[in-house]
Structure formats: C-alpha cells, structure tokens
C-alpha cells in the first residue's frame, strides 16, 4: 500500500512540476524580448530547489545537500545556489520528473492495479454483457472463461504488488541519487569541524595565558603593594600610620576594581542576572562610539546562547571603537523562529576581515561550536555588518 501511495503522489508531483516548468519556459520565452521574461527564465534554473525540497520529504530522504551562504542577503543566496552542484542535480531531477518519471509512475500504477482488477471482474462483466473483451485483449464469452480469468487475476494481484514495490524502490533510489547529500559534503563538514575545534583549543590556551598575565600584572601586583604598605604601617609611628593606611585602602579599592573589570570580561554578572538585552545595553554605554540597541527577546535564552551572543557583540563593538573610524553603530536583533539573530552595524570605513588568527575568526569558531553561523559584510568604504545566528529556544 505504501508503494501505491508513493507512486500516486509521484504522479501528482510530476504532473504539477511539468505544468510549472512548461509555464515558466513559455511565459519567459514570450516575454524575453521585453526583458520581463529574463527573470522568469532565470527562475527555471532554480526551479529544482522547491521540487527537491518536496521530493525529499515525500520520499523520506534525510539531510539537506545545500550549504549556507557565506553572507546574508538575496545576492549571496543566489550566488551560492547557482554555484553548487546540488542545485543543478535538483534541476536535472525536476526535468526528469516532469518529462518522464511521472508518466512511468502512472503507467506502472495503472497497469499494476488495472490488470488484476479487470481480470477479477470478468464474471460480473460476462454476466451483464454475455461477451466481454477484458483489457481489450482477452475475449470472454462463457462463465467458465470468466471464472478462469478471475482466478488468473487473483493470482496476478500479489505479483503486481511485488512489481509495484520493486519499481517504487528503484524509483526512490533514483531520487536519492539526485537529491540526497553527497558524502563529500559531509566529509567537508567533518574536516571543518575538526579544524574549528583545533582553533578553539588554541584560542582557549591563549585565553588561559592572557588570564594568567592579567592576574599577575594587575591584581597580584596591587595585593603585593597592599601587603607591603600594611607591613610598613605596622612598623611606623602614629603620625605616619594614617597616611599608610589611606594608601593601603586605595590599593585595596583599585585591586577590587581591577578584579571586577577582569571578571566582567570572563562572564559579566549582569548577563547572569538580567539577560542578554541588559548586558548588551551596558556594553553600548561603555563603548567609545554612540551605539543604538534594539534587542527584543520573548524571554531568557539558554546560557550558552546568551554567552556566545554577548561575546560576539563585545568583540564587535571593541573592533568598531578601535578600527572602524565610524561616527555611530547599532545592535539590532531578536528571535526569529528557533534562532537568535543579532546584527552589529557601523558606518565606518569598512574593510574588516575574519582572516585566520583574527578576533573575528575566533568568534566564528565560538559561534560554530554552538551550531550557529557568523557572516561578515564589510566592503571598502563601509558600512560593516556583522550578523550572527544561533539556534535557541526560550528557557523555562
């Protein structure tokens, strides 16, 4: 029964595909002289995308053969789709489906069902009309012949079912050959994942050394000075003690301020207490350039998502203040479906790069580790747009 349903839906999908392709080509060719038809003819090249999407779900083909564009926007998406082999395989399958496969589906389904049922109905037809030509091939004139044909129909029914299942299986294998992700794509993803993890290990090691250096050069030196001052105060006379205690108090306050600033760089308290919008607003207030923030979320997000998004914004605003030469910047975003989308934009000189070893490359690895995507658009002359997408769901 499943094979029959598969072929029946294949007939419908193929017929619709044939009509749409024929319509696009006809309308595009007729209107091409006035240039209106050129985008329509261009749409024919991408017509395999919706056909492939429908067929993968209809036939239970797992995975998506398409990769994500490197940059946001329609132009980047079109360029990505037109340059990947999966799109051309889907177009070839759409042409094959609309031109041939659905006719074969209809023929196999029609004959596989019609032949046994026609033979099995011979006794009824012969009783009504005395003389019947079953399937326009077998002449039945007597009840004996009619019942013999019915027996043949009963015996042919399981054979027809087997042939239909066999054809449906081959048909599904053909569709998978065109539409399923290729192993090479998976291998590329695995290689990139290994490289990303290696870069993360290097980044974590560099961060560990930075933390050690900051503690040694900052808070540790303050505390050493504090200890020496208190030691001198213990040995000093009453007149000098007040001055030394005040100096020790100042050293302690500065050490505390440095520790708070240091801890804010590791994991800001406001992010834990009040969430991502408040933490980003604090970053904007501390930025060296005016920053507008429009970040609306339905609720708290998973901690890993908030942390990843926060440090992307933090690094981006740091780069904006140091290198962009802009007069203003903005942070916008929100939850779109099951993804958190944040964009950082500035009106600076542009030319930013996520080259290996740069801070943006480290952010890209952090985002990739959270199964997200980071895209940078920064043409010379600006503006610069950094977009990050992270899979998420509101936390309870």
Tens-place pLDDT, residues 42-66:
888 888 889 989 998 888 887 778 8
Token pair for 252:
């302690």
pLDDT, mean of residues 278-282? 88
pLDDT band, very low/low/confident/very high, at 203 (cuts 50, 70, 90) = low
Domain boundaries, the chain: 2-179, 183-266, 274-391
Which residue is listed with tokens 């408040």? 278
Token pair for 285:
């207030």
**DSSP readout, 306-327?**
HHHHHHHHHHHHHHIIIII--S
Which residue is listed with tokens 């975003």? 333
pLDDT band, very low/low/confident/very high, at 396 (cuts 50, 70, 90) = very low
CATH assignment of 274-391, among 3.40.640.10, 3.40.80.10, 3.30.420.40, 3.30.565.10: 3.30.565.10
Mean pLDDT of the chain: 76
Q: Regarding beta strands 138-140 and 132-134, do their DSSP bridges make them parallel or antiparallel, or are they unpaired?
A: antiparallel
pLDDT, mean of residues 370-385? 81
pLDDT at 343 over 50: yes
Predicted pLDDT of residue 92:
92
For the chain, the C-alpha Rg in angstroms (whole number) is: 35
Condensed to tens digits (0 to 9), the pLDDT of residues 138-166 reads 666 677 777 777 787 777 777 777 888 88
Report the C-alpha gap between 250 and 256 in whole angstroms. Answer: 10
pLDDT at 373 over 60: yes
**Helix, strand, or coil here: 387?**
strand
SS3 for 42-82 is HHHHCCHHHHHHHHHHHHCCCCCCCCCCCCCCHHHHHHHHH
Predicted pLDDT of residue 276:
86
Predicted pLDDT of residue 269:
73
Lowest mean pLDDT among 27-36, 123-132, 213-222: 213-222
The model carries a pTM of 0.51
Predicted pLDDT of residue 96:
92
Condensed to tens digits (0 to 9), the pLDDT of residues 223-238 reads 666 666 666 665 565 6
């Amino acid at each position: 029964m499943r094979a029959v349903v598969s072929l029946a839906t294949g007939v419908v999908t193929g017929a619709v595909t044939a009509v749409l392709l024929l319509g696009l080509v006809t309308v595009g060719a007729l209107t091409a002289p006035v240039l209106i038809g050129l985008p329509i003819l261009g749409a024919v090249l991408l017509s395999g995308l919706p056909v492939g999407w429908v067929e993968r779900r209809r036939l239970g083909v797992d995975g998506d053969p398409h990769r994500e564009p490197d940059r946001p926007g329609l132009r980047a998406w079109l360029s990505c789709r037109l340059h990947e082999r999966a799109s051309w395989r889907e177009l070839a399958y759409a042409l094959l489906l609309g031109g041939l496969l659905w006719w074969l589906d209809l023929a196999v389904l029609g004959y596989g069902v019609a032949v046994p049922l026609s033979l099995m109905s011979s006794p009824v037809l012969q009783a009504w009309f005395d003389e019947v030509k079953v399937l326009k091939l077998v002449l039945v004139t007597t009840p004996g012949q009619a019942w013999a044909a019915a027996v043949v129909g009963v015996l042919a029914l399981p054979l027809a079912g087997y042939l239909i299942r066999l054809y449906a299986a081959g048909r599904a294998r053909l569709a998978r050959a065109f539409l399923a992700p290729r192993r090479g794509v998976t291998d590329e993803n695995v290689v990139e994942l290994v490289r990303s993890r290696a870069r993360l290990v290097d980044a974590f090691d560099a961060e560990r050394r930075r933390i050690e250096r900051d503690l040694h050069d900052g808070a540790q030196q303050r505390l050493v000075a504090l200890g020496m001052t208190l030691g001198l105060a213990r040995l000093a006379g009453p007149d000098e003690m007040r001055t030394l205690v005040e100096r020790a108090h100042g050293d302690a306050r500065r050490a505390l301020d440095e520790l708070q600033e240091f801890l804010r760089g590791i994991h800001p308290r406001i992010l834990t207490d009040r969430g991502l919008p408040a933490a980003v607003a604090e970053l904007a207030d501390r930025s060296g350039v005016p920053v507008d923030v429009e970040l609306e979320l339905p609720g708290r997000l998973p901690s890993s998502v908030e942390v990843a998004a926060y440090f992307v914004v933090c690094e981006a605003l740091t780069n904006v203040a140091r290198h962009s030469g802009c007069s203003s910047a903005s942070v916008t975003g929100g939850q779109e479906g099951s993804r958190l989308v944040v964009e950082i934009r500035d009106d600076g000189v542009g030319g930013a790069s996520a080259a290996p070893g740069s801070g943006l490359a480290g952010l890209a690895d952090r985002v990739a580790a959270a199964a997200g995507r980071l895209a940078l658009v920064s043409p010379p002359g600006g503006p610069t747009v950094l977009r990050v997408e992270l899979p998420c769901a509101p936390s309870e």
